[in-house]
């Protein structure tokens, strides 16, 4: 019997949470694997909550039910009902055993949720993706994270076609079967929720390493990939080992199985997945080699490997009670991953990267119709809530808690959290309680952060009393929304500078600070004064150092004050931040045609930093980069993305003029003399600044910059330099661009990840020509809507990474997106829904574009049969 998928758009509410009426104590799964059809027998030992009198109801979607038995007896059709997305069974008791057999169709599964085929029918392999609700596409189950069960899994398959058989847990035997088939069994000693189940079967190669945990457990680390990719797994193996050691040292967390598998696939909806003992990675987050991977991508691989590994404790050993608590594992794990990356690389650069991402991805989300709290109160489709808010803002909230407790206090709190909740499904309240209890403090005021959407604004005003030598800092907070909201606790890390750029010792009543020049004040009310004594002359405050809270700071600095901080702040992040604020003001000078005081101050400050040998090359590259187009748009009301692009170009041109073609040229040549492909910080920094110098030079002398770029393209020792050169040529519409593109297309014809970059670079052609190029590229033999990475590379780069190209005034960009979404949605609803979020913010466009966008979205919404995923996004966006 086939059940039709039910496209219910009913809302699931946090306030409706009930403990499960039925649990599954043990699960035995027995798979007969095949590409077109796989069959699965499941044996569930059921436990009933005696306080609830509910009939047995299990989740199940798109399952072809072959047989069903309860306590050893086949059930007649009258004893169960399978309709829509659930199976109801009569007569089940506490301790009953339910046995079902179902047939699955992996090769026909284009949604990449449940059991599916990666790659071709002939050469590809089978794998599963279960978070959040994929397990119900595999078998009937209580598919919710607060049901934790012990799994034994047996896989059977043809040995020649599926030589490698993997599932989570420890190996528990394997052997031959008749007819060229074989089997392997896995037992996971740790009870787990169904979303952490995984299997992989096919032709895969591996690299291995032995690892001994701090507690003395011998673990085999195995990374698996298809034959053509296995040589690109060594960097991930090193990153994995670093992550494991770091988690032992930083959090005292050890790995807890005998084997740890990691598998790379080219067909994956997200970045990677932390399945217990069997992590599965989108190849773009795992594979790396100098010829096809940029420096930024290397760091990303390291971060994602760490993220998935860290989930073994923050997510797997302690999981979420329900999906509203998603940030409990995601925000926490992103924070842990960020701390790890900061330790492995440069901490200030990492902070700049993270805050840039927050502003580019999360602030716009929080400012538009898709805004939701870090802990949403309701959803229709949970897959739509793997958002920048849950991940990135969630990490910022953990960072504030960690800051409030201090290094040792936070570690104490985390120890308490793991100890109390190990093996359990927890809530954000449990998290705050553990952190607070271990430190004798009440952190519940922070819950307010989890419950409200929107980016708070923090306004700061300083007043100096020359007679009393007092400096009063008035801080106030404001969030758009219901007036009755309680104030949030906002930690503001600050320092005071003299006009000579020296830090002042701080004297604030009742506050002690470890460092005499820096302290954290906590704003807990709507408005508060902080009075500093012994301040002889009016200081320049450096506020929110290290971005101590995820807010928008409003402070009336003069351009000279920002320039002072840009020149002297010792906090690398705040130095950059002062530069960003100043650049935004310089941008406004150009936009509004007002006095060029900020523009002048920005250019002068950067010109002197450009000649300052004590500044790290990578930081300098970041300082020389103004806020991106998306961030600049956030400051406007009637957004014209093409004008923003042009103004930002003008702004950079002014900077380039101030630095001068000769100086840029010299700096470029000096950096180009280093040709190492090493990944050490210095080499990466040089490549970054070299790229920036070339981009700025292009704005002054495009023929010369294109000549240098073409030469750099040809002689590049690695992908960072090659892609940087290609980007300059393509964006600059250089005559050398087509030869370089042709060369690249051929060179990487068999390297999907490198080819993705070829699509993305062209999709980001500025302005009107981008759309034509996208249409052309869609006809390339390598383009397909079936592969999420390829869709992301072409359509994603166009609609999200290219505002001036996508937001055409004739609305053609919007119509293209709407049209492609209807096709994509029939193949892969998750990917379609994510792409559709590019419509977010259309209400703030200038009137012509606004109307064109609205018309395209309304037309899209009229389509019949859209998925629940896409329906929810369109519905919210139109609101």
Q: Which residues bind ligand 0A1 (CB under 6 A)?
A: 129, 131, 269-274, 307-308, 330, 383, 386, 830
Considering the complex, state which of residue 62 and residue 129 has its C-beta at the smaller distance from ligand 0A1: 129
To ligand 0A1, the closest distance from the beta carbon of 332 in angstroms equals 11
- Residue 383 interface partner, choices ligand 0A1, Zn ion, none, CB cut-off 5-8 Å depending on type: ligand 0A1
> Which residues 6+ apart lie within 8 Å of 298 measured at CB?
235, 288, 679
To Zn ion, the closest distance from the beta carbon of 708 in angstroms equals 41
Considering the complex, state which of residue 138 and residue 620 has its C-beta at the smaller distance from ligand 0A1: 138
- Residue 269 interface partner, choices Zn ion, ligand 0A1, none, CB cut-off 5-8 Å depending on type: ligand 0A1
Site stretch for Zn ion (CB under 5 A), options 166-174, 194-202, 275-283, 333-341: 333-341
Conformation bin of residue 74: beta by default, left when phi > 0, alpha when psi is -120 to 50: beta
The rounded Cα 242 to chain-centroid distance in angstroms is: 21
- Return d(Cα 5, Cα 60) in angstroms, integer: 10
Considering the complex, state which of residue 830 and residue 837 has its C-beta at the smaller distance from ligand 0A1: 830
To Zn ion, the closest distance from the beta carbon of 196 in angstroms equals 12
How long is the chain?
879
Considering the complex, state which of residue 28 and residue 330 has its C-beta at the smaller distance from Zn ion: 330
Please say whether the beta carbons of 794 and 759 come within 8 A: yes
Please say whether the beta carbons of 297 and 256 come within 8 A: no
Closest residue to ligand 0A1, judged by C-beta, is 270
Considering the complex, state which of residue 138 and residue 540 has its C-beta at the smaller distance from ligand 0A1: 138
Considering the complex, state which of residue 265 and residue 762 has its C-beta at the smaller distance from Zn ion: 265
To ligand 0A1, the closest distance from the beta carbon of 273 in angstroms equals 4
- Residue 316 interface partner, choices ligand 0A1, Zn ion, none, CB cut-off 5-8 Å depending on type: none
To Zn ion, the closest distance from the beta carbon of 425 in angstroms equals 16
- Return d(Cα 349, Cα 355) in angstroms, integer: 10
To Zn ion, the closest distance from the beta carbon of 587 in angstroms equals 35
To ligand 0A1, the closest distance from the beta carbon of 269 in angstroms equals 5
- Return d(Cα 835, Cα 840) in angstroms, integer: 10
Is beta strand 425-426 parallel, antiparallel or unpaired with respect to 272-273?
unpaired
- Return d(Cα 593, Cα 5) in angstroms, integer: 57
- Residue 642 interface partner, choices ligand 0A1, Zn ion, none, CB cut-off 5-8 Å depending on type: none
Q: How far is CA 326 from CA 87, 114, 279, in A?
A: 26, 20, 18
Nearest to 811 by CA among 845, 761, 837, 762: 845
Residue 401: both structure tokens together = 């808690």
- Residue 272 interface partner, choices ligand 0A1, Zn ion, none, CB cut-off 5-8 Å depending on type: ligand 0A1
Residue 261: both structure tokens together = 């598998």
Nearest to 283 by CA among 295, 299, 267: 267
Please say whether the beta carbons of 306 and 337 come within 8 A: yes
Residue 36: both structure tokens together = 């077109």
Considering the complex, state which of residue 333 and residue 802 has its C-beta at the smaller distance from Zn ion: 333
Considering the complex, state which of residue 129 and residue 867 has its C-beta at the smaller distance from ligand 0A1: 129
Q: Phi and psi at residue 132, in whole multiples of 5°?
A: -90, -40
For the beta carbon of residue 755, count every other beta carbon within 10 angstroms. 22
Q: How far is CA 150 from CA 45, 186, 193, in A?
A: 10, 11, 9
To Zn ion, the closest distance from the beta carbon of 131 in angstroms equals 9
- Return d(Cα 519, Cα 502) in angstroms, integer: 16
To ligand 0A1, the closest distance from the beta carbon of 319 in angstroms equals 11
- Residue 744 interface partner, choices ligand 0A1, Zn ion, none, CB cut-off 5-8 Å depending on type: none
Nearest to 795 by CA among 847, 833, 760: 760
Nearest to 141 by CA among 4, 20, 280: 20
The H or E element spanning position 604 is helix 597-610
To Zn ion, the closest distance from the beta carbon of 333 in angstroms equals 5
Considering the complex, state which of residue 148 and residue 333 has its C-beta at the smaller distance from Zn ion: 333
Question: For this structure, is 308 an active site residue?
Answer: yes
Torsion of CA 418, 252, 337, 724, to 10 degrees: -170
- Burial label for 621, CB within 10 Å (0-12, 13-18, 19+), is buried
Considering the complex, state which of residue 320 and residue 504 has its C-beta at the smaller distance from ligand 0A1: 320
For every residue of 822-847, DSSP letters joined together read HHHHHH-HHHHHHHHGGGTTGGGB-H
Count interface residues toward Zn ion (CB under 5 A).
Answer: 2
- Residue 295 interface partner, choices Zn ion, ligand 0A1, none, CB cut-off 5-8 Å depending on type: none
Residue 685: both structure tokens together = 């920094």
Considering the complex, state which of residue 319 and residue 333 has its C-beta at the smaller distance from Zn ion: 333
To Zn ion, the closest distance from the beta carbon of 635 in angstroms equals 31
> Which residues 6+ apart lie within 8 Å of 348 measured at CB?
571, 572, 573, 576, 619
Please say whether the beta carbons of 136 and 143 come within 8 A: yes
Site stretch for Zn ion (CB under 5 A), options 122-130, 329-337, 509-517, 708-716: 329-337
- Return d(Cα 95, Cα 597) in angstroms, integer: 77
131, 133, 308, 577: the active-site residue = 308
**Residues with catalytic annotation?**
308
Where on the chain is the footprint of Zn ion (CB under 5 A)?
Answer: 330, 333
């Amino acid at each position: 019997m086939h059940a039709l998928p039910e496209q219910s758009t009913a809302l699931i509410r946090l306030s409706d949470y009930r403990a499960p009426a039925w649990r599954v104590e043990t699960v035995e799964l027995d798979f007969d694997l095949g590409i077109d059809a796989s069959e699965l027998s499941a044996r569930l030992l059921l436990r009933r909550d005696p306080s609830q009198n509910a009939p047995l109801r299990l989740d199940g979607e798109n399952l072809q039910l072959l047989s069903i038995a309860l306590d050893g007896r086949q059930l007649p059709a009258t004893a169960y009902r399978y309709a829509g997305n659930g199976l109801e069974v009569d007569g089940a008791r506490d301790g009953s055993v339910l046995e079902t057999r179902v047939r699955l169709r992996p090769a026909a599964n284009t949604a990449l949720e449940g059991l599916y085929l990666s790659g071709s029918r002939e050469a590809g392999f089978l794998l599963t993706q279960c978070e959040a609700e994929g397990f119900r596409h595999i078998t009937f189950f209580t598919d919710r994270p607060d049901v934790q069960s012990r799994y034994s899994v047996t896989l059977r398959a043809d040995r020649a076609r599926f030589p490698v058989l993997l599932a989570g847990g420890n190996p528990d035997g394997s052997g031959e079967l008749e007819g060229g088939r074989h089997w392997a069994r896995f037992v996971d000693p740790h009870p787990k929720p169904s979303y952490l189940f995984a299997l992989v079967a096919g032709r895969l190669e591996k690299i291995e390493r032995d690892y001994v945990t701090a507690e003395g457990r011998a673990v085999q680390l195995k990374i698996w990939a298809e034959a053509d990719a296995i040589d690109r797994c060594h960097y991930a193996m090193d990153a994995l080992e670093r992550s494991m050691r770091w988690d032992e040292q930083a959090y005292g967390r050890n790995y807890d199985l005998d084997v740890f598998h990691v598998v790379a696939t080219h067909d994956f909806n997200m970045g990677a997945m932390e399945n217990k003992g069997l992590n599965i990675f989108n190849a773009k987050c795992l594979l790396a080699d100098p010829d096809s991977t940029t420096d930024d991508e290397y760091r990303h691989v390291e971060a994602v490997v760490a993220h998935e590994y860290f989930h073994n404790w923050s997510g797997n050993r302690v999981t979420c009670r329900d999906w509203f608590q998603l940030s409990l594992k995601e925000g926490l794990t992103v924070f842990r991953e960020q701390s790890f990356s900061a330790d492995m690389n440069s901490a200030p650069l990492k902070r700049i990267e993270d805050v840039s991402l927050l502003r580019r991805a999360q602030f716009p989300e929080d400012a538009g119709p898709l805004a939701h709290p870090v802990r949403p109160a309701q959803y229709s489709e949970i897959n739509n809530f793997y958002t920048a808010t849950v991940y990135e803002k969630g990490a910022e909230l953990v960072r504030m808690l960690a800051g409030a407790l201090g290094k040792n206090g936070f570690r104490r709190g985390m120890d308490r959290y793991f100890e109390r909740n190990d093996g359990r499904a927890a809530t954000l309240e449990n998290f705050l309680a553990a952190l607070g209890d271990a430190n004798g403090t009440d952190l519940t005021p922070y819950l307010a952060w989890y419950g409200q959407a929107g980016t708070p604004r923090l306004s700061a005003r300083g007043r100096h009393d020359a007679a009393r030598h007092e400096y009063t800092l008035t801080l106030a907070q404001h969030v758009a929304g219901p007036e009755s909201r309680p104030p949030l606790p906002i930690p503001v890390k600050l320092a005071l500078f003299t006009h000579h750029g020296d830090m002042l010792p701080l004297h604030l009543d009742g506050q002690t600070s470890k460092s005499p020049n820096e302290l954290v004040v906590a704003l807990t009310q709507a408005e508060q004064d902080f009075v500093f004594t012994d301040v002889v002359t009016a200081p320049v405050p450096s506020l929110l150092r290290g971005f101590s809270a995820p807010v928008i700071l409003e402070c009336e600095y003069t351009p000279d004050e920002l320039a002072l901080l840009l020149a002297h702040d010792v906090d690398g992040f705040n130095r950059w931040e002062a530069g960003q604020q100043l650049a935004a003001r310089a941008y406004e000078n150009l936009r509004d045609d007002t006095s060029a005081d900020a523009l002048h101050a920005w250019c002068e400050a950067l010109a002197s930093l450009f000649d300052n040998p004590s500044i790290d090359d990578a930081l300098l590259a970041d300082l020389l980069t103004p806020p991106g187009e998306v961030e600049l748009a956030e400051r406007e009301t009637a957004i014209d993305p093409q004008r923003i692009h042009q103004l930002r170009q003008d702004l950079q041109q002014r900077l380039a003029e101030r630095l001068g073609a000769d100086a840029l040229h010299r700096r470029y040549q000096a950096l180009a003399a280093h040709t190492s492909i090493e990944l050490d910080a210095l080499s990466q920094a040089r490549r970054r600044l070299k790229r920036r110098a070339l981009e700025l030079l292009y704005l002054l002398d495009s023929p010369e910059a294109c000549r240098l770029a073409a030469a750099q393209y040809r002689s590049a020792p690695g992908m960072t330099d090659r892609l940087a050169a290609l980007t300059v040529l393509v964006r600059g519409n250089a005559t050398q661009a087509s030869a370089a593109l042709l060369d690249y297309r051929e060179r990487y014809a068999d390297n999907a990840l490198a080819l993705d970059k070829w699509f993305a670079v062209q999709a980001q052609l500025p302005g009107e020509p981008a759309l034509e190029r996208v249409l052309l590229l869609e006809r390339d033999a390598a383009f397909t809507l079936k592969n999420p990475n390829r869709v992301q590379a072409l359509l994603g780069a166009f609609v999200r990474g290219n505002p001036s190209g996508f937001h055409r005034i004739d609305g053609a960009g919007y119509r293209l997106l709407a049209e492609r979404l209807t096709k994509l949605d029939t193949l892969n609803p998750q990917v379609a829904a994510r792409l559709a979020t590019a419509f977010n913010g259309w209400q703030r466009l200038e009137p012509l574009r606004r109307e064109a966008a609205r018309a395209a979205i309304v037309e899209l919404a009229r389509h019949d049969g859209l998925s629940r995923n896409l329906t929810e996004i369109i519905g919210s966006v139109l609101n």
